[in-house]
């Protein structure tokens, strides 16, 4: 096996671009991401490279799969929505392991909502705005809602 090359900083790349670093090209580093942070795992090619037990994680953001300890294709995503406390703790453990063992070489570019004309709206989608957004606004006396007790009093009226 040839000696490892020094890690190359990639900056921001898309998930699609990350796929090119799955270990199938020996000229490229072997990369994977956790929580949008991309790490060079070339030194562990026997685990993350082709034929390795974790090869399916290479070239992807494997956050959900690592959190769930899953090898299912549907979990090979950076989407962590809906994970429970135990799964989020497991993901945090993986993240700490990667931070201590591997070099961070980039981040995954966040996608921006676009209109039908293909232009960015620059604003969060309606789904991203909480329905109870008014509950978090300051009250007339300038004080914000401070506790569940206050919310339950409002709901009772």
Note the pLDDT of residue 133: 40
Which pLDDT belongs to residue 8? 82
pLDDT tens digits, one per residue of 58-112: 999 999 999 999 999 999 999 999 999 999 999 999 999 999 999 999 999 987 6
32-45: pLDDT as tens digits? 999 999 999 999 99
Does the pLDDT value for residue 134 go beyond 70?
A: no
Kindly indicate the confidence band of residue 138, based on its pLDDT and cuts at 50, 70 and 90. very low
HEC per residue, 67-134: HHCCCCHHHCCCCCCCCCHHHHHHHHHHHHHHHHHCEEEEEECCCCCECCCCCECCCCCHHHCCCCHH
Class of the CATH domain delimited by 11-108: alpha beta
How far, in Å, CA of 3 to CA of 43, rounded? Answer: 9
Sheet strand arrangement including 37-40 = 11-13, 103-108, 37-40, 31-34
Confidence of residue 5 (pLDDT cuts 50, 70, 90): confident
**Bridge pairing between strands 11-13 and 31-34:** unpaired
pLDDT of residue 92: 98
What is the distance between the alpha carbons of residues 135 and 7, in angstroms, rounded to a whole number? 48
Residues 6+ apart with CB under 8 A from 22: 30, 50, 55, 58, 59, 60
CA distance 139 to 108: 39
Domain extents for the chain?
11-108
Q: How remote is the C-alpha of 59 from its chain's centroid?
A: 13
Dist. CA 123–CA 63, nearest whole Å = 26
Q: Is residue 136 scored above 50 in pLDDT?
A: no
Flag whether pLDDT at 155 surpasses 90.
Answer: no
């Amino acid at each position: 096996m040839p000696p490892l090359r020094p890690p190359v900083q990639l900056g921001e790349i898309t998930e699609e671009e990350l796929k090119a670093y799955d270990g199938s090209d020996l000229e490229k580093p072997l990369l994977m991401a956790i929580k949008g942070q991309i790490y060079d795992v070339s030194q562990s090619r026997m685990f993350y490279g082709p034929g390795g037990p974790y090869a399916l994680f290479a070239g992807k953001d494997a956050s959900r799969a690592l959190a769930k300890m899953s090898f299912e294709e549907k979990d090979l995503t950076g989407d962590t929505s809906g994970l429970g406390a135990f799964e989020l703790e497991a993901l945090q453990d993986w993240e700490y392991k990667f931070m201590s063992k591997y070099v961070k070489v980039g981040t995954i570019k966040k996608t921006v909502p676009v209109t039908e004309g293909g232009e960015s709206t620059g604003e969060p989608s309606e789904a991203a705005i909480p329905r109870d957004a008014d509950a978090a606004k300051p009250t007339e006396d300038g004080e914000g809602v401070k506790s569940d007790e206050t919310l339950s009093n409002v709901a009772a009226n």
